[in-house]
Every structure is written in structure tokens, then in C-alpha cells.
Chains A and B, each alone.
Chain A
């Protein structure tokens, strides 16, 4: 994918509101046909970034290039891109068909042609054809999502933008729609740029993910890279529960925990590492009987357990520190609460980040 010229390039794109920097000099290339997701907490500047790319906000600095051409000053209605909004922004006074056909009507397409295209898109998105004349506000949440997507696809955009369109949907339906969206991406072969605050949602759908924090892209990589080699504590903690231990490098090449006694065996040390955080994902933690069974271990009190569907999570308290361990349900650990347990992990399964 990286071989072909990028469809969208951002060069030092920035946005300031008075003294506040919402987007701080972002460089990014997005490849043709890619499903790229920008993830960040609220206030990280991801919506502002997307609105600039879509042409609804003017950048304060930098360039936005579409297939090599600078589009900074091209207004949204002249850009070959289209957005699916967080509120979906459907036209409540129009039917499902009229919503989908909106851009075709604007272009002056003939009525029969518009209708044919709308029905084709409704098929693609699994909306029953009988919905064509239905008032869009009478559709369910999931149906409205599909109408909004069909309306954007009818514009035949070169890039489709998504501004957290699934955030208001209940989790069961959201999981279905995430997969559907990935399928639609496959079917249409279009470039999708998606923003969300949920890294889990991003993982499900994306080819590549960019993690944003305070206006900056802190890491860009495949879901696998973001998950297994986060470059900061911030990224590592974004996906959910992780074990984080503040550590310093000791003279003997081992890690000294800031909070509790004992030395820890590190994974491959990043060059010039002095201090930072050791991150261990809960599924790499395991219950052991003797410390020698793993490279590193700690002993603490089994405080509680939580059933997470296919997995079970255990909370172990070591002094002030809280550790989480996750096991598949079939491999559940049988223990009693408040029992002293030893948990361990192998050095290779841990990640060392510098901040």
C-alpha cells in the first residue's frame, strides 16, 4: 500500500483558536483504498482535524493535498470527499430515498436515474427497497446509519470521512455495524477516514490507526503495532486495562520498580533507556505457584474477579498497586478472594515505554 502515491497528504497541518492549539502540526499520508482511523480522547483535536480535511474548517497552517493537489482553499461542496456526521445530519423533512439522492438531485441527475442509484445503494446496505418512500425519522438507529452512509456513497466520493457515527449506538448493534462498515469498505474499495474515541472500535475496522493526543499524532501504525508495540504509556493504556509499572534502569541491566521492592527482567531495552514504564497486557499475566515459573513475578492479594464474556479478569492488589490478569473462561483460575496469589509474566511479553 505504501508503494502507491498517497491519496491524501497532510503537511504540518495546524489549527489554532486564539491561543489554543487544537491541531498541532500534523504530517500524515493516507493510501488509496485504506481504512484509516484516527483515535483520541475527546478534546484531542481529532474532530477539528477531520473537519479541516473535509473542508468545513480552514487550517491555520500547513497544506492538505488530495492526489498531490493542494485543496486548503477548496470549500467542502467542491471537494470530491464526503462525511458521515456524528449526528448523521439526515434531512428530517425528506424520505429515505430523497436523503440518499440528495447529491444526485444537486447535480441535476434525472429522476429515474437517481432512483435507480438509490435503490442500488439501499441493496448494498441491506435496506429493504420498500423503505424508499419511508420518512427517514421513522427509521431505527441502525437503519438511519445505513441511510447516512448510502447518502454519502451516492456522492461517489474519493474519500469518505466518518465523525464517530457509531458513538450513540448501543454496543451490540455497534459491533454489528462496525463489521458491516468494514465489509462496505471492502465492497466499495474506497478510502475511509474514520475518527473515534474507542481504540477497540478502531482495531476492528482499520488498516492503520493514528492515535491523537492534545493535537498531535503520537503513534501511527497497524492495529497489531498499536496493540503490541505502543510507543507511549498513553497509547498502551488507550485500549483498556493494562498493568503499568514505573521503572528505572538499574546498573546491572535489570529494572528497578519505583513503587515496590525487587528487580524486574526487561524486554529488549530501547536505546538510551533510563527510566519509564513497563507495560504488561492482562492476557500475558498468569497465575503461578513458584516465582521461577516466569521471568518476573509479584505476590499479592486476590481482590476480586470480573466476568467479561469469554474472558475473566482478576484484580490482584500488591500493596498500593493494582494488577489485572485475564484468563479465557475455559482456563479460569480457581481461587478464593483475599487469598495470597503469585502472578508472573515473561520479559518478552512486556513492553517498555519511555514516558
Chain B
């Protein structure tokens, strides 16, 4: 006799989310992957699959956009790590009661649209703008504007993604127990050795999450290059946008998207495998 299928209360509760994820994530993903195998410039999923789009990409100069996106993302992560670690350390260990206020100040800009903030930077950096205009008027100093350079793009990306590095790092550093730090110090370690041997490895979960989060976001960045870079660099996300809009070549855009997901996915999974979070926490 077959037993009727009975869902546990947990599975029942998970059902709406599961359906939502199926409809909202899995289905579009499959559609994109499927589209990438359709003939170029078609809008139907019914044609016979082909590798033509991938061939086009590998024969074109799209790899330049890929490399720019990856390089900018890597640079963003590197700069953010250097900038955020001291701030995060201060928030957890040094600033005391001021930490809450500072955290709030770092959070508030998130309430304003990214585009508006980036145009704010344009006004700040532009020739005769807030920065250079003030320098000229009050100090008689005339400098070249960095607007519409690669530096400006990097600055914009560092600025926009700062909270996504800062808060995981803060959590990571907050996970290191005080007594463990004291113990290392008491056993003769210098401040630097305490950091290297104890604090950094124990805050690794936060570090890895911060790195991955900012990297994944930065690889997909598009507005910074458009607004602050003045089209000096075309990131891969913009290539994809162009394929889907002006070029009306959905299959090519889909193929680019699939490649981007593959590259980023491989990097993220490698990092997660390499930096086994459980091992860092001593759970293995």
C-alpha cells in the first residue's frame, strides 16, 4: 500500500519560498542559459540549439571587457580591504560608544540612490566643480580633474561598495574573543604576531565574505564606468546591456551573461573551497 505524501511543517513553511525561488531565480536562469544557445538575433526559444554566439564572443574583443571588469573588481576588493580593515578594527575595538554613530554614518548613504551619489561625485570632481573650483578660488591652485579617468571609476566603485566590505569585516573581527587575543599577547606575541596568528585567521569568515560580496558586486558594476568614467572603459555588464538593448541580440547577451556567471561562479566556489569557513572556526 502506498503511503500518502505528507509534508512536515518545516517543508510546508518552506514551500512558498521554494516556489518563489523556482519562478524568480531558477526559471529565468534556465531561460538565459537556453537563450545563449539560440541563433543570433532571434527572439524565440524554439530554434535548434547552436554554439554560434560563443564562437562570436571568442572571435571578438569581448575578452577586453571581461578583463576590465575582473581587474576593476580585483582592484576594488584590494583597495577596500586596505581601507576597511582599520575602520572595522576601530569600530569593534577602539571607538567604543562612538561605533554605533559611525556605523550609522556609513549606512545612511545606502538610502540614497547609487546614481544620485555618483552624480554627486561628478559635481565634486568636475573641472571648476566643488573640489577643483574651491582650490582655484581660495588657493589659486589649478589641478587636472581626475573625472573620466580609470582612477575615477575605481574611486566610485570603492565608494559604492565600501559598506559591503566594512560590515562583514566588522562582524569577522567581532568574532575574535578578547581572551584569545589576550592569551596570544600573554604568550609573548607582539601586536603584529597577535594579528597574524590569531586575529586575522579567526576573522577570516568575515574577510572571505566581504571579499566575495564586493568582488561579485563589482564585477557586475556598470554605472561607475558610465558616470565617472565617461565611457573610457566598457565593463562586461555594459556589453551585456548593449546586446540586450541597442543591438537587439538577446542570444549574444545571454551567452555573455552565462560566461560571466561561469567565471565569477568558478572564482567564488574556488575561494569558498580554499577558505573552508568551518575549518577557520575550528568546527572541523
Report the Cα distance A91→B201, complex, angstroms: 10
B residues contacting A by CB (< 8 A) are 177, 179-180, 182-190, 193, 197-198, 201-202, 279-284
Within 8 A of B (CB), among A39-79: 54-56, 75-78
B193 close to A106 (CB less than 8 A): yes
Considering residues A76, A89, A103, which has the most beta carbons from chain B within 10 angstroms of its beta carbon?
Answer: A89
Report the Cα distance A93→B193, complex, angstroms: 15
Given contacts A93-B279, A135-B284, contact A83 B188 (CB under 8 A): no
Q: Does A132 contact B (CB under 8 A)?
A: no
Given contacts A102-B197, A106-B188, contact A89 B183 (CB under 8 A): yes
Contact of B186 among A77, A93, A107 (CB under 8 A): A77
Nearest CB of A to B284, in Å: 7
Report the Cα distance A152→B185, complex, angstroms: 12
Q: How many residues of A contact B (CB 8 A)?
A: 29
B190 close to A87 (CB less than 8 A): no
Given contacts A87-B177, A89-B179, contact A151 B280 (CB under 8 A): no
Report the Cα distance A76→B190, complex, angstroms: 10
A92 close to B281 (CB less than 8 A): yes
Contact of A92 among B182, B193, B282 (CB under 8 A): B282
Report the Cα distance A179→B41, complex, angstroms: 82
B193 close to A76 (CB less than 8 A): no
B185 close to A77 (CB less than 8 A): yes
Q: Does A82 contact B (CB under 8 A)?
A: yes
Report the Cα distance A103→B198, complex, angstroms: 13
Nearest CB of B to A49, in Å: 16
Q: Does A136 contact B (CB under 8 A)?
A: yes
B187 close to A103 (CB less than 8 A): yes
The residues of B that contact A155 with a CB separation of less than 8 Å are 187-188
Within 8 A of B (CB), among A93-121: 93, 102-103, 105-107
The residues of A that contact B280 with a CB separation of less than 8 Å are 93
Given contacts A89-B179, A92-B202, contact A102 B282 (CB under 8 A): no
A77 close to B202 (CB less than 8 A): no
Contact of A77 among B188, B197, B281 (CB under 8 A): B188
Q: Does A86 contact B (CB under 8 A)?
A: yes
18 contacts between A and B (CB under 8 A): A56-B182, A56-B185, A76-B182, A76-B186, A77-B186, A77-B190, A85-B179, A87-B179, A91-B198, A92-B202, A92-B282, A93-B201, A93-B202, A93-B281, A106-B189, A135-B284, A136-B282, A137-B282
Report the Cα distance A91→B282, complex, angstroms: 9
B283 close to A83 (CB less than 8 A): no
**Which chain A residue lies CB-closest to B201?**
A93
B282 close to A93 (CB less than 8 A): yes
The residues of A that contact B197 with a CB separation of less than 8 Å are 91, 102, 105-106
Contact of B184 among A81, A91, A92 (CB under 8 A): A91
Report the Cα distance A76→B189, complex, angstroms: 9
Mark each residue of chain A from 290 to 333: 1 if its CB lies under 8 Å from any CB of chain B, else 0. 00000000000000000000000000000000000000000000
